[in-house]
Amino acid sequence: TLISPAPFADETSCQCQAPHEKLTIAQARQGTPVDRPVRVYADGIFDLFHSGHARALMQAKTLFPNSYLLVGVCSDDLTHKFKGFTVMNENERYEALRHCRYVDEVIRDAPWTLTPEFLEKHKIDFVAHDDIPYSSAGSDDVYKHIKEAGMFVPTQRTEGISTSDIITRIVRDYDVYARRNLQRGYTAKELNVSFISEKKYRFQNHVDKMKERVKNVEEKSKEFVYKVEEKSHDLIQKWEEKSREFIGNFLELFGPDGAWKQMFQERSGRMLQAFSPRQSPDSSPTRGCSPSRSPSPPWDINKTSPPSSPKAASASLSSTSEGDEDEK
């Protein structure tokens, strides 16, 4: 199941109890025998476990319809003797294999060359590995006897990825990784770096930080300028809209046919009517006097002035009556 890591072969009590009958590849591909899965074995160093390892194990697991994948991992002593120094120690490599989804069981301290006793102990039906001859331990191909026995099933290598490729990248970019680890708190002693190299790496880290700060300032400046330009464009656009609106309102009010001119003309007409009233029409009726004589005013300038006292007033009235009588 995928809810727990694969068990170690020397710690599990689950052993295959079925008789170990020799199978052909044709029988295994048909899904026989029905009473047990086909036991497939794949071995290796699995240093710096990567996708190439996982793909090889996936192929080994899916070679047959019903299979049980055992993975053998060589110890540090055996690996350093026949292949070279590893990056990960044996316990780290064991644990990496246990957490691969295609692995059913991990065999620790696996042998470099497979013996009949080892195959019989773990009841291995087939051995899966890439078909390239693997020369080691004085042999041109350590899987030669497995191939001759008809127990070898080839898998395909994944191009572009291998443990050697990963180590090559680290060696090639050693300064970059040394500077990174110094920056993360590792000491020069832990990295096996000299005093002068340590100072050089720290200075380079400081220079990189300054470059990053300058880059950030430039980016922020560009962003600020962009925002200012965008705001300026918006302000200019709004100003143009307001200007057109103001000019339109001004022309509507003070233009040649504007409302202000009409209002001024109306007020001017009212003022002229107030200062120059209408004249009498020519067809108005005339008074009962001759046209040659002008009408006399209601009073006569040659007459005496009005009396200043009641006695004088009575005297004037009496005289006037006497004159009237004479005229009669």
- Phi and psi, residue 287, nearest 5°: -75, 170
In the sheet that holds 105-108, the strands lie side by side as 105-108, 67-73, 38-44, 126-130, 152-155
Q: Is the distance from CB of 102 to CB of 57 less than 8 angstroms?
A: yes
**Residue whose entry in the numeric block shows the structure tokens 């040394």:** 178
Query: What gap in Å lies between CA 14 and CA 16, rounded to an integer?
Result: 7
Which two tokens mark 289?
């006097």
Contact (Cβ atoms closer than 8 angstroms) between residue 201 and residue 193: yes
Whether omega for the bond prior to residue 33 falls within 30 degrees of 0, making it cis, is: yes
- How many residues in the chain? 328
In angstroms, the first-to-last Cα distance of the chain is: 163
What is the structure's pLDDT at 219? 84
Considering only CA atoms, give the Rg of the chain: 62
Single-letter code of the amino acid located at 235? L
d(CA 157, CA 130): 6
CA 275 centroid distance within chain: 80
Of 79, 61, 45, whose CA–CA distance to 163 is shortest?
A: 45
- Comparing CA positions, the residue from 7, 72, 73 lying closest to residue 40 is 72
- Specify the pLDDT at position 157: 92
**pLDDT tens-digit map of 13-51:** 555 555 567 788 888 888 777 778 999 999 999 999 999
> 70 - beta bridge partners?
41, 105
CA dihedral 234→235→236→237, nearest 10 degrees, is 50
Which two structure tokens, joined as six digits, stand for 40? 């497939």
Distances, alpha carbon 309 to alpha carbons 178, 314, 323, in Å: 142, 9, 21
The pLDDT value recorded for residue 325 is 45
**pTM, whole model, 2 decimals?**
0.60
Alpha-helix runs per DSSP H in 156-309: 163-172, 174-183, 188-191, 195-254, 259-275
Distance of alpha carbon 140 from the chain centroid: 56
Q: What is the pLDDT of residue 285?
A: 54
In order of their start, the domains of the chain are 25-155 (3.40.50.620), 163-264 (no CATH)
- pLDDT string in tens for the chain (328-residue length): 567 788 888 876 555 555 567 788 888 888 777 778 999 999 999 999 999 999 999 999 999 989 999 999 999 999 999 999 999 999 999 999 999 999 999 999 999 999 999 999 999 999 999 998 888 767 788 999 999 999 999 999 999 999 999 999 999 998 888 888 888 899 988 888 888 888 888 888 888 888 888 888 888 888 888 888 888 888 888 888 888 787 777 777 776 766 666 777 777 777 777 766 655 555 555 544 444 454 555 444 444 445 554 445 444 544 444 444 444 3
Q: How far apart are CA 281 and CA 116, in angstroms?
A: 150
State the Cα–Cα distance between residues 263 and 254, nearest whole angstrom: 11
Q: What residues have CB less than 8 Å from 167, skipping those under 6 apart?
A: 48, 87
For 37, list phi and psi in degrees, rounded to 5.
Answer: -75, 160
